[in-house]
Amino acid sequence: MTNKLAIAGPGSKYQVSNAVPAGFWAGVWHGLISPITFVVSLFNPRVRIYEVHNRGRRYDLGFIIGASAVLGHSALRFGKAS
């Protein structure tokens, strides 16, 4: 059974046999939700922040864009507080 939230890991829709590997937009989504999925992964070993069944550089680029959109803004705000 695949997860409904498109979270990376063993239960993801990308792990089903004959599934298309995760691409750019899945990478963006996984990057955006990476802080939340990291916390969930601490308590649930089946949840991962990064989809291993992906299209390579396209997924990586999307993941970096998504993660930097979420985490980069926090880093900028933290840097201004000093």
Residue 32: inside a domain, yes or no? yes
What single string gives the DSSP state of each residue in 21-54? PB-HHHHHHHHHTHHHHHHHHHH-TT--SS-SSB
Q: What is the pTM of this model?
A: 0.77
Residue 3 has a pLDDT of 55
Distance CA 64, CA 39 (A): 18
What is the count of structural domains for the chain?
Answer: 1
Residue 35: inside a domain, yes or no? yes
Confidence band, pLDDT 50/70/90 cuts, at residue 1: very low
Residue 4: inside a domain, yes or no? no
Residue 59: inside a domain, yes or no? yes
Distance CA 56, CA 78 (A): 31
Determine the structural domain holding residue 76 and report its residue range.
24-81
Residue 36: inside a domain, yes or no? yes
Per-residue pLDDT tens for 36-68? 889 988 998 888 888 888 888 999 999 999 999
Residue 66: inside a domain, yes or no? yes
